[in-house]
């Protein structure tokens, strides 16, 4: 019996190197058994290597780079506007804005005086390391302390794409479901910080802050949580302290302290 098609008719097999051609008297079908090639390549290898290139550049320019991720409408842009305005004159910030369409967010950021580059991903649901590498080329990195990358509003896809950042910062607002950390665990697992935003609205909505914190810590026991309001400024000081310590670490990374002895 032919193991290729299961028929009992004796098949004529022609061998050409690794390729076997089965020809049967009762049908003209030609089946080739191909050659196996072991590949073992990580699908995201190309993005990861571009991200490593970005990272080396950010480290050598001692820029502290954060990748801000959230669902649409969590208040990322308002939070950035507030941060840039409050830190103006003390910390030099720049922004890469990612959206599918429009430069509305870049216009808002530019109004704070910070250098900004807009990336429109078209139909793409996330930024990748290639896009960020090119946008960063157009920014004056040597004169920047912090680069904020505002990713496309989406809690799923951006989790898989390293951009070369130091940390992901996930923004969750109290007008969303408190169980988002469990629903989108990959993102909350990947983030170093969770900013719980719109705390000024907490008294008016049924959002259990303690439960939300518990769920975030369950997915990621190492996550740091700041409760903030970008509108009235509550809690923002702790976020700024964290940013300052990040800048210090990024500078140490660029110029490691000489080893004693």
Partner 1 sequence: MHELSIMQNVIEICESNSGGSRVLSVVMEIGNLSGVVAEAAEFCFEACSRGTLVEGARLRIDRIPAAGSCLECGNSFGLQTYFDPCPACGGNAITVTAGEELRVKELEVA
* Site residues (vs partner 1, CB under 8 A): 19, 32, 34-47, 124-126, 128, 156-157, 159-161, 182, 185-186, 189, 215, 217-222
Q: How far is the CB of 55 from partner 1 (least distance, A)?
A: 20
Q: Determine if residue 6 is left, alpha or beta; phi over 0 gives left, psi from -120 to 50 gives alpha, anything else beta.
A: left
Cβ distance to partner 1 smaller for residue 26 or 35: 35
Q: How far is the CB of 173 from partner 1 (least distance, A)?
A: 21
Cβ distance to partner 1 smaller for residue 8 or 42: 42
Q: How far is CA 188 from the centre of its chain?
A: 11
Number of other CB atoms surrounding residue 232 within 10 Å: 11
Cβ distance to partner 1 smaller for residue 6 or 34: 34
Q: How far is the CB of 123 from partner 1 (least distance, A)?
A: 8
Q: Which H or E run contains 116?
A: strand 116-120
Cβ distance to partner 1 smaller for residue 163 or 219: 219
Q: How far is the CB of 220 from partner 1 (least distance, A)?
A: 8
The sign of the torsion formed by the CA atoms of 181, 182, 185, 190 equals: positive
Cβ distance to partner 1 smaller for residue 117 or 126: 126
The 3-class SS string of 177-221 reads CCCHHHHCHHHHHHEEEEEEECHHHHHHCCCCHHHHHHHHHHHCC
Eight-class DSSP state of 156: S
Q: How far is the CB of 150 from partner 1 (least distance, A)?
A: 18
Cβ distance to partner 1 smaller for residue 66 or 215: 215
Cβ distance to partner 1 smaller for residue 133 or 185: 185
Residue with tokens 């305005």: 85
Q: How far is the CB of 182 from partner 1 (least distance, A)?
A: 6
Closest CA relative to residue 174, chosen from 125, 96, 227, 218: 227
Q: Where would I find the H helices in 61-165?
A: 76-87, 104-110, 129-137
Number of other CB atoms surrounding residue 190 within 10 Å: 19
Number of other CB atoms surrounding residue 134 within 10 Å: 12
Q: How far is the CB of 11 from partner 1 (least distance, A)?
A: 19
């Amino acid at each position: 019996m032919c193991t290729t098609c299961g028929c009992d008719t004796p098949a004529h097999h022609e061998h050409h190197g690794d390729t076997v051609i089965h020809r049967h008297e009762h049908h003209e079908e030609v089946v080739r058994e191909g050659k196996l090639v072991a590949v073992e390549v990580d699908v995201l290898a190309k993005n990861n290597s571009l991200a490593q290139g970005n990272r080396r550049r950010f480290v050598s320019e001692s820029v502290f780079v954060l990748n801000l991720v959230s669902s649409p409408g969590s208040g990322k842009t308002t939070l950035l506007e507030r941060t840039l305005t409050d830190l103006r004159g003390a910390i030099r910030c720049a922004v890469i804005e990612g959206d599918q369409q429009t430069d509305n967010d870049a216009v808002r950021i530019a109004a704070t005086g910070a250098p900004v580059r807009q990336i429109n991903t078209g139909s793409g649901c996330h930024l990748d390391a290639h896009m960020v590498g090119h946008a960063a080329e157009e920014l004056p990195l040597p004169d920047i302390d912090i680069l904020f990358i505002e990713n496309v509003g989406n809690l799923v896809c951006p989790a898989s794409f390293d951009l070369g950042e130091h940390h992901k910062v996930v923004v969750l607002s109290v007008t969303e479901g408190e169980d988002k950390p469990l629903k989108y665990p990959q993102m909350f697992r990947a983030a170093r910080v969770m900013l719980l935003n719109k705390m000024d609205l907490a008294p008016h909505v049924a959002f259990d802050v303690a439960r939300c914190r518990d769920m975030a810590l369950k997915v990621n026991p190492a996550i740091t949580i700041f409760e903030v309001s970008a509108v009235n400024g509550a809690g923002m000081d702790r976020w700024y302290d964290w940013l300052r310590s990040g800048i210090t670490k990024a500078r140490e990374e660029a110029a490691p302290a000489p080893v004693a002895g």
